Structure 1
Amino acid sequence: MFGLLVLLLFTSTEAAVNCSSASTCTECISLPYSCFWCYTPGLARCLSPEDKDNCSTSLSSYSSAINEINELPISDQNQVSLKSVSLKLRVNESIDVKVSVKASNDYPLDLYILMDLSSSFGTDLDNVKNIAPQLPLSLQNVSSSFKIGFGAFVDKPILPFTSNQQLMYDPMPGITIPFSYEHIVSLTNSSDLFNSELQDISISTNVDNPEGTLDAMLQAVVCDDVIEWREDSRKILLVMTDDVLHTAGDGSLAGIVKPNDGLCHTEYDESTNRTLYTASLLQDYPSMELVKMTLTNNDVVPVFALAGVSDDIFALYNESVSPFLNGFSVALQKDSSNLISVLIEAYRKVVANAQLSFNLPDHISATVKANCSNYFPQRRECVEIGNETVEFTMSVSLRECTQELRDNKSTDIIVTIPGFSRFLIKVSGHCSCECESQSTRGSTECSKNGNLTCGLCNCDEGWEGSTCSCSTLQCPVGLNGKTCNGRGACECGECHCYNVNSAELSDIDSTMLDTTSVDNPLIYGAACECSNYECLTDGDGTVCSGEGECQCYNGTYECLCAVSALTGERRTGEWCQCSTDHCIDPDANNQTLLCSGNGTCSPCEPKGQACTCNDLYSGPYCEESTFVSGTLLGSCDNSVRDCVICYGEAARSESENSSISCGSSSCDNFALLTSSPSDDYIIPGSLPNSNTDCSFISGECQYTYIAGRGPDGEDLYAVPPRICLPIPIWAIVTILLVLIILLGIGILIAIKCCCMYLDYKEYNSFKAEVSKASFERMENPMYHTPDVTYKNIAYGSE
């Protein structure tokens, strides 16, 4: 039995698919493997196989299936059991298609010979003409229903492929002007017609070695009206050549850059009575890929008959060109005298191998197996099948649903078995649910506020919920213009505020503050406009400094500060950062005394830095007396400058044995020093560590003095002699100015002397050059005097 066998393969991997992730019926059936859609109202959802019992009714399941099959038994007139099959696939659920192939002993044969007519093929053409009457007879041995045709090719008739001399006139008698492709004999079973047409053709010529083979092959395949290929026949294109071929891109050498369109451009020319390729100079050579696709789509098998080529050229065709084009290569003798035996060999090669050839779009995949003894999986080919019937198994699956499949369109896959036949696979997909086109408007299941589709309610605008019973039109809008302030979900007209740590809020509220300092962070309010964590924070990010409660009034935040347990006063400040507690010494006996009573309190400063102490007191809370501890320093006071100047003068005068009196009521507690004291000098009678060195400048003199504190807090001063400059400052400044002016004048004089010296040298050099020159008086050679003198030869004669 030769026919199509179809197997549905289910792979038990549903556990890897999360069916519940699908929210619609179409999404559910588009998931790989067996997910089911329950469309019972109120229970509509996508179920996995183990959960489908939870929806005993209204269960929608789609499986891959065969829609239509067209198959024929294998006979002498039919070599492939399948003509067409229509599949409807579910994603990742495959169908096995088995097709049988057997080579017929008497199958219709169409043979079109395409011959290279370049000058190197001249002897071959003569032999082909001689054996032309025998060619049809030889084909009767392989098929009783045969047709044979003939065409020829050279190359594009333009430089650098052919020369201008070759194009303008026949260089030699019996040589045809170069052409790209000429169709000579359409497929016929008339031996006389074939023979007579071949006798009239002549050899041609070109310049470069590669030939325009691909141009001719493409036209010979696509020009069906010219060649007259039959639909149900074994089609063989025999290409006779002795050199390599031009490929796409070579046309740019002649300025031909337009890509080949793959269409037929071969027409009959009444002026020359020839059928020629007319777009040769308009389009580039076709690519190998384009020729392969054309051969495959038209079920034509190429056979390259290579005449007297080198081993390298034969290897190129046999190992590269022929396998790529799904064809074969055979060797001709140098003069093509063995053409008949080569034809028989080529025919046997075509029918000896059965290969599935097809192209798949990205959303469809297929694997092929075969039961033949010599099977090559990578090429999907059975070789040397002889009279054996081989069976191919194609496992076709759908990778994903495309928009085309969702629009209920199908994808056509043409599977070609070169030399045998082809069959068509039409693939459509389970990519949409029928129930989605059967929506019930204003369904009671949807509270008459929506449409019921596949058991789901699609609510009208302003309604929501599984049964469309909740209104969304009455939810309040926040100050930012968003419903529920963007921080809550509107359900049935009310805002349900999100949890602070919810994923929804993290996507919506990008301005959230740190809530770690709040024990129970909340969002609340009719429009979710309030929270207990958005008040101002201190430098550590603590809301209300941790000393108050964050309160919200219509979206405006304010800290309600706590009352101090020490003073009974409420904390103040925008984030409760101010408190008189900052000025109370925790170790003091009196816990209500600010700054220990020895300073002023700044409650908004941090604890320990809020007190400004009075004189004679220090410490964080002004609890230490600097007078008692002996650490109060004497101060440099500008009010005593006059006394210091007087005592400085007196000290200097005293060292010079003169007497100056500075005694006055304002200069008490001053002492004279006859010389500058050492660094460890201490004013007699002053407190330890209370001395301070002071100094100032007055006029040209520097005055220094030492200030200290006595045991009773009195100021004590010791003044050494003043130190003055030996020359007054005004005299120093005057001398410096005079020196600067004199230096500038000297520089200007030096520059002027240098310039005068250089000018003097240049002038003497000029005089020397002039004395060496000699001038001579000359006439301008272009000048012609206007005076003309004529001599009268007869003047003075008798």
Structure 2
Amino acid sequence: MYPFLCMVLLLVSSTEAAVDCNSASTCTECISLPYSCFWCYTPGLARCLSPQDKDSCSTSLSSYSSAINEINELPISDQNQVSLKSVSLKLRVNESIDIKVSVKASNDYPLDLYILMDLSTSFGPDLVNVKNIAPQLPLSLQNVSSGFKIGFGAFVDKPILPFTSNQQLMYDPHPSFAIPFSYEHIVSLTNSSDLFNSKLQDIKGSTNVDIPEGTLDAMLQAVVCDDVIEWREDSRKILLVMTDAVLHTAGDGSLAGIVKPNDGLCHTEYDESTNRTLYTASLLQDYPSLELVKMVLTDNDVVPVFAVAGNSNIFALYNESVSPLLNGFAVKLENDSSNLIPVLIESYYKVVANAQLSFNLPDHISATVRANCSDYLPQRRECVEIGNETVEFTMSVSLRECTQELRDNKSADIIVTIPGFSQFLIKVSGYCSCECESQSTRGSTECSKNGNLTCGLCNCDEGWGGSTCSCSTSLQCPVGLNGKTCNGRGTCECGECHCNNVNSAELSDTTGVDSPLIYGAACECSNYECLTDGNGVVCSGEGDCQCYNGTYECLCAVSALTGERRTGEWCQCSTDHCIDPDANNQTLLCSGNGTCSPCEPKGQACTCNDLYSGPYCEESTFVSGTLLGSCDNSVRDCVICYGEAARSESENSSISCDSSSCDNFALLTSSPSDEYIIPGSLPNSNTDCSFISGECQYTYIAGRRPDGEDLYAVPPRICLPIPIWAIVTILLVLIILLGIGILIAIKCCCMYLDYKKCKKSVKIVPLKENETQCTKNHAITMTLIQNVALS
């Protein structure tokens, strides 16, 4: 290998993506799958195999891998700037080939420069300077390339309103302007300075009406008319466009009724009557689009350079928009073109300064480009300012899919252009069919003489079926519940359903079933169609999916903790949900302090008893500073007994309360206080309770021990000093006496009023007997009152 010679490496792209090779039923389908599936064509074993299974069919294996069929390369030299001329690839789907190509700018490489000048009215003064500079142009090019050629052409616009008009020329007997034209080729590429200069001196400017020019019409013709311009094959091709105006693009022709799209072909011909070479289809078809011009520039390896005069806005348009779209450059031209020679030199060095890979790909082919240069622009696939450096591009080409053209053994041609350097060709064909498919054995014994053997598979004659064509198709396979043979999930062979394989990788990720399987006489069952949890996992991942005649049910697993089988339609219920994973005793449900609801989610399945909390009732609500004891009416009998016992103890007598139900009671011989703590109880866990029984009040203090048992402390009972019945009797007597007193008072008042009335009547009728009677009645009444009071 020469230094800098193109190096080509075959790299099979690696990926972790899972591909089910078993899904392919023919050899063509198998090799169309990516990542190296292999076809085994052994009769009886014919199938598509994954790389790990290929050893099972080592003697009859079709293996197709992307490869380089042919390569044409040359060493880098002053006459050759690109190391690769052509390469032929045969690709398998999604297997890439890496092509490495070296590029270096030659110091004295053949140069073809074609100058395309705007001859509209606004560019008239520039034409005078160009004619003056013309003799010097070839001499200046000798400094950059000894093998140069230079040519010249001009353009204005389509010779029709509203683009141009020749009315002013019709009345001028000695016109100083030429009749408007679209594009005129004036000088073919030549190294003769005299020819170039003489031809240039004879040209005239022209006129136009609107501001934009027909630049793209002229550019396309100057590139595609190879026989007219005489571009050389091995040369650096530069198209220098001199202008001071914007350009017309596709669609603008409709202003003059020209709507036919530009065909991108050469229509520039020599006219003997005028002795001029002109673009003849200017009025027949529209302006080309920028995309079309870019395509022909790329295909013909021509680099456009726009030498722009006029205001800064025009230059900005070409520098920032037009040039990048066409993979070209823009340079600033003085308003009178007086700096044309420096612009030519600058244009040349701009072209050779950057190396860029430019190509168009069909939809079924993809490519990526890398480079080892110091300043690389990945979006443009361009190495910038390479100078004398040799740069190396690595182009990875891959086939996305097999098209019909590739299946018909046709190749796709890709022209890769490195503007200003050269181009190379990539021919891409594909492994889109198996050779064994064209080699069929009719009436093969491997097919029971009832079919043809192709790539190890039997294609059975009508009326026969099975892998070896040994079964009559009259045998019917069972019909599934959906009314389809083999439930639509299998193939019928010899009256039996052979259920389809399942994409294990895809289903195991979504259902949680490690080995998905379809089975049953009619392929009516599977082990992955039972009910699932919220994440889509079959039987919650805690059981096996069972199928009986198309009816699915989860067979739940047994808990390793409790020994109990999980329950629920999708095994979502388990007493494991009630076991505290951090507890020492992992068989105690809800820590023994609550009830378990196994169908609730883990951490939510325990309903805690009073005074307990937490997801597993593991937390006591005995909190320091909180009264945790509670009053309980069920202990009244024990409290009464202990209250009597406490009283008798203070009176030096003895009462026993030894009942087993009163074990948690203690005696207090003094009244309880707020600071009193029952021995053995939690701090601050006591509360006062009391009730009345008979003539006595009983008080007790309730507390709680650390183990959860209640404690009770009972002080002596408190009884009244007078019996209740005596108090009631006294109250009744007092009430009766009070009533009698009230009645006597009322009677006295009435008698006194009667006496006063009697005395008043005596004054009116003064009879002595009447006064005596009043006094007598009053005395009798008072005597009665006294007797009642004494009694």
Q: Distance in 2 between matches of 1:574 and 1:553?
A: 15
Deviations 1:205-247 (A, max 9, x none): 1111111100100111111111111111111000000111111
Deviation, 1:198, is: 0.7
Say if 1:148 and 1:188, in contact at 8 Å, map to a contact too. yes
Please, which moves more after superposition, 357-366 or 645-654? 645-654
Deviation, 1:4, is: 2.3
C-alpha spacing 1:456/1:497, structure 2 compared with 1 (3 Å): closer
C-alpha spacing 1:338/1:534, structure 2 compared with 1 (3 Å): closer
Please, which moves more after superposition, 630-639 or 561-570? 630-639
C-alpha spacing 1:10/1:787, structure 2 compared with 1 (3 Å): farther
Deviation, 1:307, is: 1.6
C-alpha spacing 1:636/1:439, structure 2 compared with 1 (3 Å): same
The secondary structure found in structure 1 opposite 2:771 is: coil
Deviation, 1:652, is: 94
Say if 1:25 and 1:46, in contact at 8 Å, map to a contact too. yes
C-alpha spacing 1:625/1:5, structure 2 compared with 1 (3 Å): closer
Say if 1:107 and 1:143, in contact at 8 Å, map to a contact too. yes
Deviations 1:435-473 (A, max 9, x none): 111111111110011111111111111110010000118
Say if 1:80 and 1:102, in contact at 8 Å, map to a contact too. yes
Q: Distance in 1 between matches of 2:97 and 2:620?
A: 101
Deviation, 1:773, is: 126
C-alpha spacing 1:603/1:277, structure 2 compared with 1 (3 Å): closer
Match of 2:731 in 1: 736
Say if 2:166 and 2:180, in contact at 8 Å, map to a contact too. no
Deviations 1:758-785 (A, max 9, x none): 99999xxxx999999999999999xx99
Q: Distance in 2 between matches of 1:621 and 1:420?
A: 79
Q: Distance in 1 between matches of 2:230 and 2:264?
A: 18
C-alpha spacing 1:670/1:555, structure 2 compared with 1 (3 Å): same
Deviation, 1:546, is: 36
C-alpha spacing 1:599/1:668, structure 2 compared with 1 (3 Å): closer
Say if 1:405 and 1:429, in contact at 8 Å, map to a contact too. yes
Deviation, 1:173, is: 2.8
The secondary structure found in structure 2 opposite 1:23 is: coil
The secondary structure found in structure 1 opposite 2:189 is: strand
Deviations 1:653-684 (A, max 9, x none): 99999999999999999999999999999999
Say if 2:504 and 2:516, in contact at 8 Å, map to a contact too. no
Deviation, 1:432, is: 1.1
The secondary structure found in structure 1 opposite 2:350 is: helix
Deviation, 1:113, is: 0.4
C-alpha spacing 1:23/1:338, structure 2 compared with 1 (3 Å): same
Say if 1:157 and 1:167, in contact at 8 Å, map to a contact too. no
Q: Distance in 1 between matches of 2:731 and 2:331?
A: 113
- 1:785 equivalent to 2:779? Answer yes
Deviation, 1:91, is: 1.3
Deviation, 1:50, is: 1.2
Q: Distance in 2 between matches of 1:792 and 1:358?
A: 146
1:486-565 maps to which residues of 2 (within 5 A)? 491-492=493-494
C-alpha spacing 1:182/1:701, structure 2 compared with 1 (3 Å): farther
C-alpha spacing 1:274/1:775, structure 2 compared with 1 (3 Å): farther
Deviation, 1:56, is: 2.6
The secondary structure found in structure 2 opposite 1:785 is: helix
C-alpha spacing 1:168/1:49, structure 2 compared with 1 (3 Å): same
Deviations 1:228-269 (A, max 9, x none): 111111110000001111111111111111111111111111
Say if 1:133 and 1:195, in contact at 8 Å, map to a contact too. yes
Deviations 1:526-569 (A, max 9, x none): 99999999999999999999999999999999999999999999
Say if 2:141 and 2:148, in contact at 8 Å, map to a contact too. yes
Please, which moves more after superposition, 166-175 or 295-304? 166-175
User: How many residues matched?
Assistant: 778
Please, which moves more after superposition, 363-372 or 6-15? 6-15
Deviation, 1:177, is: 1.1
C-alpha spacing 1:30/1:501, structure 2 compared with 1 (3 Å): closer
Deviation, 1:14, is: 5.7
Say if 1:184 and 1:197, in contact at 8 Å, map to a contact too. yes
Q: Distance in 1 between matches of 2:712 and 2:366?
A: 106
The secondary structure found in structure 1 opposite 2:510 is: coil
C-alpha spacing 1:84/1:254, structure 2 compared with 1 (3 Å): same
Say if 2:18 and 2:505, in contact at 8 Å, map to a contact too. no
C-alpha spacing 1:207/1:556, structure 2 compared with 1 (3 Å): closer
Say if 2:87 and 2:425, in contact at 8 Å, map to a contact too. yes
Deviation, 1:38, is: 1.1
- What CA RMSD, in Å, does the superposition of the two structures yield over aligned residues? 24.0
Deviation, 1:341, is: 0.9
Q: Distance in 2 between matches of 1:751 and 1:255?
A: 136
Question: Where does the alignment leave 5 or more consecutive residues of structure 2 unmatched?
Answer: none
Say if 1:550 and 1:558, in contact at 8 Å, map to a contact too. yes
Say if 1:672 and 1:718, in contact at 8 Å, map to a contact too. yes
Deviations 1:714-765 (A, max 9, x none): 9999999999999999999999999999999999999999999999999xxx
Deviation, 1:574, is: 36
The secondary structure found in structure 2 opposite 1:515 is: helix
C-alpha spacing 1:336/1:662, structure 2 compared with 1 (3 Å): closer
Deviation, 1:3, is: 2.0
C-alpha spacing 1:702/1:413, structure 2 compared with 1 (3 Å): same
Deviation, 1:10, is: 3.0
C-alpha spacing 1:177/1:676, structure 2 compared with 1 (3 Å): farther
Q: Distance in 2 between matches of 1:486 and 1:391?
A: 56
Deviation, 1:580, is: 50
C-alpha spacing 1:91/1:585, structure 2 compared with 1 (3 Å): closer
C-alpha spacing 1:771/1:71, structure 2 compared with 1 (3 Å): farther
The secondary structure found in structure 1 opposite 2:754 is: helix
Deviation, 1:338, is: 1.0
Deviation, 1:403, is: 1.6
Say if 2:111 and 2:147, in contact at 8 Å, map to a contact too. yes
Q: Distance in 2 between matches of 1:137 and 1:759?
A: 168
C-alpha spacing 1:41/1:696, structure 2 compared with 1 (3 Å): same
Q: Distance in 2 between matches of 1:191 and 1:708?
A: 122
C-alpha spacing 1:167/1:278, structure 2 compared with 1 (3 Å): farther
Deviation, 1:793, is: 182
C-alpha spacing 1:103/1:776, structure 2 compared with 1 (3 Å): farther
Match of 1:132 in 2: 134
C-alpha spacing 1:23/1:202, structure 2 compared with 1 (3 Å): same
Deviation, 1:39, is: 1.1
C-alpha spacing 1:731/1:563, structure 2 compared with 1 (3 Å): same
Deviations 1:261-294 (A, max 9, x none): 1111111111111111111111111100000001
Q: Distance in 1 between matches of 2:612 and 2:106?
A: 123
1:689-728 maps to which residues of 2 (within 5 A)? none
C-alpha spacing 1:38/1:744, structure 2 compared with 1 (3 Å): farther
Please, which moves more after superposition, 599-608 or 12-21? 599-608
The secondary structure found in structure 1 opposite 2:17 is: helix
Please, which moves more after superposition, 54-63 or 591-600? 591-600
Q: Distance in 1 between matches of 2:186 and 2:268?
A: 11
Q: Among all aligned residue pairs of Structure 1 and Structure 2, give the percentage whose two residues are the same amino acid.
A: 90
Deviation, 1:95, is: 1.2
Q: Distance in 1 between matches of 2:282 and 2:765?
A: 81
The secondary structure found in structure 2 opposite 1:323 is: helix
Match of 1:508 in 2: none
C-alpha spacing 1:153/1:44, structure 2 compared with 1 (3 Å): same
C-alpha spacing 1:278/1:479, structure 2 compared with 1 (3 Å): same
Please, which moves more after superposition, 447-456 or 711-720? 711-720
Say if 1:170 and 1:176, in contact at 8 Å, map to a contact too. no
Q: Distance in 1 between matches of 2:527 and 2:747?
A: 87
Deviation, 1:397, is: 1.1
Deviations 1:51-105 (A, max 9, x none): 1122232111111111000000111111000000011111111111100000111
Say if 1:170 and 1:177, in contact at 8 Å, map to a contact too. no
Deviations 1:179-219 (A, max 9, x none): 11111111111111111111111111111111110010011
Q: Distance in 1 between matches of 2:462 and 2:761?
A: 108
Say if 2:303 and 2:327, in contact at 8 Å, map to a contact too. yes
Q: Distance in 1 between matches of 2:154 and 2:779?
A: 87
Match of 1:771 in 2: 763
Match of 1:362 in 2: 363
Match of 2:49 in 1: 47
Question: Where does the alignment leave 5 or more consecutive residues of structure 1 unmatched?
Answer: 506-513
Q: Distance in 2 between matches of 1:768 and 1:184?
A: 167
Deviation, 1:7, is: 2.2
Say if 2:695 and 2:723, in contact at 8 Å, map to a contact too. yes
Deviations 1:586-642 (A, max 9, x none): 999999999999999999999999999999999999999999999999999999999
C-alpha spacing 1:488/1:719, structure 2 compared with 1 (3 Å): farther
